[in-house]
A and B are shown apart, each in its own frame.
Chain A
Amino acid sequence: MHEGQYLYCIIETREARNFGRIGIGGRGDPVITIAYRDLSAVVSSMPMNKYVVSKETMIAHEKVIEAVMKDYTVLPVRFYSVAPNAEEIRSLLRRRYHEFKKLLRELDNKVEFGLKAIWKEMDAIFKEIVEENEENKVTRDKVTADSGEDVGPDKAALSRRVKLALEEKKAKEKEVLLQPLRKVCSDFCLNTTYGDDMIMNAAFLVDRAREKEFDSCVEQLGVHYGERIEFKYVGPAPPYSFVNIVVKE
């Protein structure tokens, strides 16, 4: 079968490197570099058209980039980008040379941290929402009174108001959480939240020199809000959320 070049990330170096036999696909392919001037693509060989989307392949992709990140600032490439040959990769680096160099400069020495904030007890949150608003309280009591009266419209109105109030509450608490963090990071982006209980799903770009400082900011959030909110803090990861280049032609 024809062998292609699986592309993991782009780094700034003109030196040929070998990151070990950790290539995707489980064959122990060496992860090496293909250079154009002082830009290099980190690749390993893999059969074209043999695509396996699995836990193993996804983790392998991530692990290679993490290994490279120990020595270099990286531009992570999306999962499953495979070029037919090394020449195509060199041509890509040549065509996008200035763009890649610029982004590498912006990301220099920076890594990504993910932070999700999730309410622990939704029953308590819904209760707060009702208790905080007199009108909701009255409607709730009416709906639950079991008086034989038709309360359908009340229920519908109540659930609409609760939904709105939930969004407001999320926005308010998210701002409070973000405030100390945005002072320490170079950039951040807010990703879509899932479910009623997720308040924030954010990615932060942090200079390695400020990692400790950022850590302690997150730790402080844990100290202050840990009883009510669960924090999922992950990093240092490749700066995926801050690389938004789409190469079309």
Chain B
Amino acid sequence: MGVQAERDTPGTLADVIDRILDKGLVINADISVSVVGVELLGIKIRAALASFETAAKYGLEFPSGTRMETPAWQEAMVGKETCPQCGKRVPKEELMNEGCPWCGWQSAKAKGAGVVPSGDGHRQKEIPPVEVK
């Protein structure tokens, strides 16, 4: 049963990010500390967003059978996707069908088919995964 809590060796990316980016000895002297700040912020924001969306999802699924009609719930229920160009979080439907409202990035789908009016509720397209580097 020990399998349940077996030890992993450190060095996987997720584990390393947890440690090396915001812990350890910090030297601000004549030693130049990094441009990491900007990147780090990005990572933190992504983590926060991911956890909010998880929370929203569970909140919505609870209690079972509840219908959520209020605008706040509706807002939270919209699945969001990361714009591959500017990294902002945009409602999935809007990003795929119309493009990114922040930077103007257009998906292949929007380019190919022209802008499809959203909200018909029948589209069941697969959303391709967005790689976050």
Is residue B130 contacting chain A, with contact meaning CB distance below 8 A?
no
**How many residues from B make CB contacts under 8 Å with A?**
52
- What are the residues of chain B within 8 A of A113 when measuring CB–CB? 7
B15 interface hit (Cβ, 8 Å): yes
- Interface locus among A14-22, A30-38, A168-176, A225-233: A225-233
Q: By the criterion CB–CB under 8 Å, are A235 and B25 in contact?
A: no
Given contacts A59-B16, A144-B66, A241-B19, contact A226 B1 (CB under 8 A): yes
Contact at A79–B11, with CB atoms within 8 Å? no
Contact indicator A66/B11 (Cβ below 8 Å): yes
Number of A-B contacts (CB under 8 A): 193
Q: Indicate whether B3 reaches chain A with its CB closer than 8 angstroms.
A: yes
Question: Chain A residues near B7 (CB, 8 Å)?
Answer: 113, 215, 218, 233-235
Query: Which of A55, A143, A152, A195 lies in contact with B70, CB distance below 8 A?
Result: A152
Among the 9-residue stretches B29-37, B92-100, B101-109, the one with 4 or more Cβ atoms under 8 Å from chain A is: B29-37
CA distance A243 to B23 in the complex (A): 7
Range for the number of chain A residues in contact with chain B: 35 or more
Interface string of B52-72 (1 = CB under 8 A from A): 001100110111111010100
From B17, B18, B35, contact of A80 by CB (8 A): B35
Check A144–B64 contact: CB distance below 8 A. Answer: yes
B114: interface (CB < 8 Å): no
- New contact pairs (14) apart from A78-B33, A79-B24, A222-B1, CB-CB < 8 Å: A9-B25, A62-B16, A76-B19, A123-B61, A126-B63, A144-B64, A159-B59, A191-B18, A221-B5, A222-B2, A222-B4, A233-B7, A238-B19, A240-B20
Q: Which B residues form the contact surface with A (CB < 8 A)?
A: 1-13, 15-36, 39, 47, 50-51, 54-55, 58-59, 61-66, 68, 70, 133
